[in-house]
Amino acid sequence: MPETMRADGRRNYELVLDAARLAFAEHGTEVSLREVARRAGVGIGTLYRHFPTREALVEACMRHGFDTLRARAEELLDSPTPDEALLTWMRALAAGSMTYHGLPASLMAALLDEQSELHASCAAMRAAATHLLDRAQQAGHARPDLTAAELFALVAGVAWAGQQAPDQDGLTNRLLSLATTGLVHRP
């Protein structure tokens, strides 16, 4: 949010963000932007003035979560067990990816599209996770042929599957555990 924004503009910006977070959580990231504007109590023009594209709105909603995941990856670099650090971060990514329906797909698309408004946030998060993966690989705790792109695709797929069966407690963690059996070597 620009520092020079007037008070009413700041208020409308926050109203739209709050409404979008709720709408995305209830209906997914493909919810109608008119519905988001209606929930915020602003006109569609006001929404577009602050967020010219759907991706800009999703990015603004997710920026804090992506920054948190990036910071968590950096913290985990100090963990004495590289494999557990990597798995801990993967669980956090899966949980964060399930915040909004459709987010796993948006995350994967943003990583592949450098023009995407989500790309910079996703790329910074992936770079931090790459350091965790490299560390686990150097310690012999992760497959040497695993790439960060594959790691993200795997976690996004698990998060997507978890969103399809939300009534099954623990499904995402169980799937992640099953999937990582092939990724992590236990010396």
pLDDT for 51: 94
Domains of the chain: 1-52 (1.10.10.60), 54-180 (1.10.357.10)
The DSSP line for 25-81 is HHH-TTS-HHHHHHHHTS-HHHHHHH-SSHHHHHHHHHHHHHHHHHHHHHHHTT-S-
Low-confidence ranges of the chain (pLDDT < 70): 1-3, 166-167, 183-187
As a whole number of angstroms, the distance between CA 84 and CA 149 comes to 19
Residues 6+ apart with CB under 8 A from 49: none
pLDDT for 170: 81
For 107-134, the pLDDT digits (tens) are 777 777 788 777 777 788 888 889 999 9
pLDDT for 186: 58
